[in-house]
Amino acid sequence: MRRTGPGVILFGVPLDLTASYRTGTRIGPQQIRAAGEALEDYSLALDRDVRQVKVIDQGDVELPAGNLHGSLAKIEEEVTTVLEKRMAFVALGGEHLITLPLITAALSRYPDLVVLQMDAHADLAERYDGEALTHATVMRRVAELLGPKRLVQLGIRSATAEEAAFAREQTHFFPGAPGDVAQILRILAGRPVYLSIDIDVVDPAFAPGVGNPEPGGWSSGELFQMLSVMADLDVVGMDLVEVCPPYDPAGITAALAAKILRDSLLTFFYHA
């Protein structure tokens, strides 16, 4: 049984402040939406139509320019309003740091929340450039919020030695290729799940437009397969982050994100 009522709130979160290498994720939401217009509403693989999902697109959250703490507060506030309506939500990034205020709010409402992260990078650094709140430390902050073993990490192929050590102790850590998922399902089943997809979990061949391309990732087919395996989870909120259009000259990253969005809506938020 789903904890959230029918319908799902969609919004963009154009935060793009802590990137170290390539910037541009702030125009991610608009490019994903534009790519979505070229996509069929009906999914042949899922035999479902997104017009049957009640999606309310609230547009992009307006963030105060250059103000990190103000931005995080604004995001948390925005999503709290959504949660109070007992609705599920999907946030389009923007950089991965948006996951922190989103999970903070979700955890308030769902104290037994577990988090499923699909990502090339562990994002578990204690500090990054001396800072606590960055795209590279976000899942460390999340893990601290949640407590041990409530964060499941899939697809990770980049970390520091320290992050790897932390992961082995504190998270459920499944580096590399998507493997046997029975164990993952056992951890997550029956609990409220927050799903965070960093688009760089797929290989740069399939998603070149990302902040930190990390070769050796999943194919997009493998990601869709993973989503379909997760179909019975009770996802109460999710994000899709790090689409970076300036490095996506052919638009295939935005097209992939749009399809992940559509299929996630059909998989997790479809009320027959």
- Kindly determine how many residues on this chain lie close enough to bind a copy of itself according to the rule CB under 8 A: 71
Region binding a copy of itself by CB under 8 A among candidate stretches 18-26, 53-61, 144-152, 182-190: 18-26
Beta strands in 151-202 (DSSP E): 151-154, 172-174, 192-198
Nearer to a copy of itself, 104 or 219 (CB): 219
Nearer to a copy of itself, 205 or 231 (CB): 205
Nearest approach in angstroms of CB 64 to a copy of itself is: 5
What does the alpha-carbon distance between residue 204 and residue 41 come to, in Å, rounded to a whole number? 26
Q: Which residues pair with 108 in a beta bridge?
A: none
Q: What sign does the CA torsion over 36, 38, 44, 50 have? A: positive
Nearest approach in angstroms of CB 234 to a copy of itself is: 25
Nearer to a copy of itself, 6 or 176 (CB): 176
Nearer to a copy of itself, 45 or 189 (CB): 45
Nearest approach in angstroms of CB 196 to a copy of itself is: 19
Per CB under 8 A, contacts with a copy of itself among 68-97 are 68, 70, 97
Per CB under 8 A, contacts with a copy of itself among 30-49 are 38-42, 44-45, 47, 49
Q: Measured at the alpha carbon of residue 231, what is the angle toward residues 266 and 157, in degrees to the nearest 5? A: 105
DSSP state of 168: H
Helix, strand, coil % (nearest 5) of the chain?
40, 20, 40
Region binding a copy of itself by CB under 8 A among candidate stretches 58-66, 81-89, 104-112, 140-148: 58-66
Nearest approach in angstroms of CB 67 to a copy of itself is: 6
The distance from CA 81 to its chain's CA centroid, rounded to whole angstroms, is 19
What does the alpha-carbon distance between residue 208 and residue 204 come to, in Å, rounded to a whole number? 4
Region binding a copy of itself by CB under 8 A among candidate stretches 4-12, 99-107, 170-178, 189-197: 170-178
- Which of 1, 111, 161, 272 is close enough to bind a copy of itself by CB under 8 A? 161
- Which of 2, 6, 62, 112 is close enough to bind a copy of itself by CB under 8 A? 62
71 phi and psi angles, rounded to 5 deg: -70, -45
What does the alpha-carbon distance between residue 209 and residue 66 come to, in Å, rounded to a whole number? 23
What's the half-sphere exposure (Cβ side, CA atoms, 13 Å) at 53?
26
Q: What sign does the CA torsion over 243, 6, 146, 157 have? A: negative
Token pair in block for residue 239? 């994000």
Please report whether residue 229 would count as binding a copy of itself according to CB under 8 A: no
Per CB under 8 A, contacts with a copy of itself among 118-147 are 122, 128-131, 133-134, 136
